[in-house]
A and B are shown apart, each in its own frame.
Chain A
Amino acid sequence: MSIAKRSSRTGERVVVGALFACAVLSIAVTVGIVAVLVVDAVAFFRESSLFDFLTGTVWAPGQGSGEGGLYGVLPLINGTLMIGVGAIVVGLPLGVLTAIYLSEYASARIRGLLKPTLEILAGIPTVIVGYFALQFVTPSLLRPIFGEDQVFVFNAAAGSIAVGLMILPIIASISEDAMRSVPASLREAAFGLGSTKRQVSLRVVVPAALSGIAASVILAFSRAVGETMAVTIAAGNSPKMTLNYFTSIQTLTASIAQTVSGEASAGTVRYNALFALGLTLFAITLVMNLISARIVRRFRQVYS
């Protein structure tokens, strides 16, 4: 960088200034997000107490004793966690098996076919995955297995399966990267001691790549928490404190989608509640992304 002439032309300085402005714009975006969420969330908490929001077990805008309704976020957190955990239960085993297969077993040709397939799966619009969950997963998969009377039309299980399919490529590709960055010398040492491919995979590669796998799972969980359309379509819109995966629930994101579809007008408690939910969602996903990024940075340092 120091080899380049330090230009004294003003034109050149202007260009660099403009490029710097482009880079700094990203900070403006972050400031904008935080400002929008905080300003209206504060307006919300002026009318409805923060304590009630964080501890209330009923989410019923427009209902209850007060004119604004009941705004307890716990049912929505409950629904969000159900989808997050359900999606991990679906996506983690499939994703890790896929990663081991791609990293240790698959030939170059099969890898060349499988990786684009996973990219296609990752690229399907979420609204279409939602359609699939509602029109196929619930009626043709869940209901025949668990019984018509057990499984509601809108249910958390279908939402979890849909979101699980969406996060599968994330877990598979990040875990595969971690496994491939395990040095060949470790594998060769284990083979030299008479280990089979399975033993090398499970006792050398997977343990060595564990932090990368963990990072992928946290990132995938964060994506699952932020997913909106598939859960709005397939998992329903009834916020409740339940652990039954066959009933309808509501997530934080679905609640935001439902409120905006209902045309809440600006300035009302219900409209401001959107931003309190958005702030909650932003905080949860930010913390998980930061943890995931930190783990990834650490495992990169170990082997490079």
Chain B
Amino acid sequence: MTASASAEALAPSRLRRGATRSGARIFVDAAFSVLLFVGTIVGVVALATLLWTIVDDGWARLMADPAAFLSNYVSRLPARAGIKAALIGSAYLMVLTTLFCFPVGVGAAIYLEEFAPRNRVTNFVETNISNLAGVPSVVYGLLGLGIFARFLRMGPSLLAGALTLAVMSLPVIIVAAREAIRAVPESIRLGAYALGATKWQTVRRQVLPAALPGTLTGTILALSRAIGETAPLLVIGLPIVIFSLPNDLRDPVSALPLLIFDWTSRPQPAFAEAAAAASIVLLALLLAMNAVAIYLRNRYTIRW
């Protein structure tokens, strides 16, 4: 009784008249498969078109004189403009951001996975971290502007930029590190305890080394997102037109996405080409970072 009732609910008309309409059904099924495939392929085609547009617009500009494009500062003349300050600025930002957010992120992940008692404080911290992951990047920019740049008087500096990106990347790194730590089997910990190791000795000598590849992979992916971010850096006021490299944490610094934004916003077509050329460099950088992440994942991840 119940079985036939649910069968009716699943396919009411088809069950009664299935045989007579099987031709139509085969056609509709085939049409649906095609629709699914087309719907899926639209995303792929869009990605291909995007990449092709960037390469088509920027390749000639980049290849005209790659050395000059990479080693010139910005210029009012699009033909002379280069990405030196932005490229090196992005590299500095990336290194500093890693230094700030990797230890804190991994520390938080170790605490939450290995030491945190199941109580309301832990619950609150966890909910809080997942909410932080959903905060728009431009709001992190306002945080950086209000606290780092103005309140702590760092101004639009390398330090303020890196701290802002680090705070933004923190929840992503915590989530990645927690997953890697959780993947280490309990038997490893129990074995260490049986040999008389303390909790922290177990974590430091057994769990962390085993979780390192996964943690590094997640960190690199988080950083590749941070390095492509424009909005927070724009909000804290990092400069675009700059003719020096930072010597100090308090020096101003530019970044590749900022420069791409600036060139894209200019009306001259020659600047659009320069923006596309700079985009190729940024995409190549991200591709390299992702390749390293995938290599680490495949080479060092332990299958238990």
Interface residues of A (CB under 8 A from B): 3-5, 7, 9, 12, 15-16, 18-27, 29-30, 32-33, 36-37, 39-40, 93-94, 96-98, 100-102, 105-106, 114, 117-118, 120-121, 123-132, 134-136, 165, 168-169, 172, 189-190, 193-199, 201-204, 219, 222, 225-229, 232-233, 253, 256-257, 260-261, 263, 266, 274-275, 278, 281-282, 285-286, 289-290, 293
Interface string of B20-43 (1 = CB under 8 A from A): 000001001100110111111011
Determine if B39 and A98 form an interchain contact, defined as CB atoms under 8 angstroms apart. Answer: yes
- Measured between alpha carbons, how far is A19 from B111 in the docked complex, in Å? 5
Determine if A225 and B136 form an interchain contact, defined as CB atoms under 8 angstroms apart. Answer: yes
Determine if A199 and B115 form an interchain contact, defined as CB atoms under 8 angstroms apart. Answer: no
- Measured between alpha carbons, how far is A111 from B143 in the docked complex, in Å? 40
Of chain B, the residue at the smallest CB distance from A263 is B237
Sampled A-B contacts (7; CB under 8 Å): A3-B193, A20-B115, A25-B170, A121-B47, A125-B228, A165-B50, A190-B10
Residues of A within 8 A of B234 (CB): 257, 260-261
Number of A-B contacts (CB under 8 A): 280
Which of B18, B134, B142 is the one whose CB lies under 8 Å from A275? B142
Which of B7, B145, B282 is the one whose CB lies under 8 Å from A125? B282
Determine if A228 and B134 form an interchain contact, defined as CB atoms under 8 angstroms apart. Answer: no
Q: Known: A198-B33, A203-B10, A228-B136. Contact between A128 and B279, CB under 8 A?
A: yes
Determine if A94 and B167 form an interchain contact, defined as CB atoms under 8 angstroms apart. Answer: no
Residues of B within 8 A of A282 (CB): 135-136, 139
Residues of B within 8 A of A289 (CB): 130-131, 134
- Measured between alpha carbons, how far is A199 from B32 in the docked complex, in Å? 10
Q: Which of A19, A25, A135, A278 has the most CB of B within 10 A?
A: A19
Determine if A278 and B142 form an interchain contact, defined as CB atoms under 8 angstroms apart. Answer: yes
Determine if A194 and B228 form an interchain contact, defined as CB atoms under 8 angstroms apart. Answer: no
Task: For chain B, residues 210 to 237, give those with C-beta under 8 angstroms from any C-beta of chain A.
Answer: 221, 224-225, 228-231, 234-235, 237
Prevailing SS type, chain B contact patch: helix
Of chain B, the residue at the smallest CB distance from A204 is B10
Residues of A within 8 A of B128 (CB): 26-27, 30
Stretch with Cβ within 8 A of A (4 or more), from B59-67, B77-85, B91-99, B256-264? B256-264
Of chain A, the residue at the smallest CB distance from B33 is A105
Q: Which of A16, A96, A105 has the most CB of B within 10 A?
A: A16
Residues of A within 8 A of B295 (CB): none
Interface assignment of B49: CB less than 8 Å from any CB of chain A: yes
Interface assignment of B1: CB less than 8 Å from any CB of chain A: no
- Measured between alpha carbons, how far is A290 from B202 in the docked complex, in Å? 36
- Measured between alpha carbons, how far is A197 from B265 in the docked complex, in Å? 49
Interface assignment of B200: CB less than 8 Å from any CB of chain A: yes
For chain B, the bracket of interface size reads 35 or more
Determine if A36 and B10 form an interchain contact, defined as CB atoms under 8 angstroms apart. Answer: no
Residues of B within 8 A of A127 (CB): 228, 230, 257, 260-261, 264, 279
Which of B107, B146, B199 is the one whose CB lies under 8 Å from A7? B199
Determine if A130 and B264 form an interchain contact, defined as CB atoms under 8 angstroms apart. Answer: yes
Which of B33, B129, B200 is the one whose CB lies under 8 Å from A12? B200
Min CB distance, A177 to chain B, in Å?
Answer: 14
Residues of A within 8 A of B257 (CB): 125, 127, 229
Interface assignment of B125: CB less than 8 Å from any CB of chain A: yes
Residues of A within 8 A of B174 (CB): 26
Q: Which of B38, B170, B261 has the most CB of A within 10 A?
A: B261
- Measured between alpha carbons, how far is A197 from B29 in the docked complex, in Å? 8
Which of B170, B193, B225, B290 is the one whose CB lies under 8 Å from A26? B170
**What 7 A-B pairs have minimum CB-CB distances, sorted nearest first?**
A226-B136, A97-B39, A125-B228, A22-B107, A36-B146, A19-B111, A289-B134
Of chain B, the residue at the smallest CB distance from A289 is B134
Interface assignment of B68: CB less than 8 Å from any CB of chain A: no
Q: Which of B29, B134, B275 has the most CB of A within 10 A?
A: B134
Interface assignment of B157: CB less than 8 Å from any CB of chain A: no
- Measured between alpha carbons, how far is A102 from B40 in the docked complex, in Å? 9
Task: For chain B, residues 156 to 205, give those with C-beta under 8 angstroms from any C-beta of chain A.
Answer: 167, 170-171, 174, 189-190, 193, 196, 198-200, 202
- Measured between alpha carbons, how far is A123 from B128 in the docked complex, in Å? 24
Which of B33, B39, B134, B283 is the one whose CB lies under 8 Å from A285? B134
- Measured between alpha carbons, how far is A189 from B5 in the docked complex, in Å? 13
Determine if B43 and A196 form an interchain contact, defined as CB atoms under 8 angstroms apart. Answer: no
Interface assignment of B154: CB less than 8 Å from any CB of chain A: no
- Measured between alpha carbons, how far is A286 from B216 in the docked complex, in Å? 29
Residues of B within 8 A of A197 (CB): 29, 33
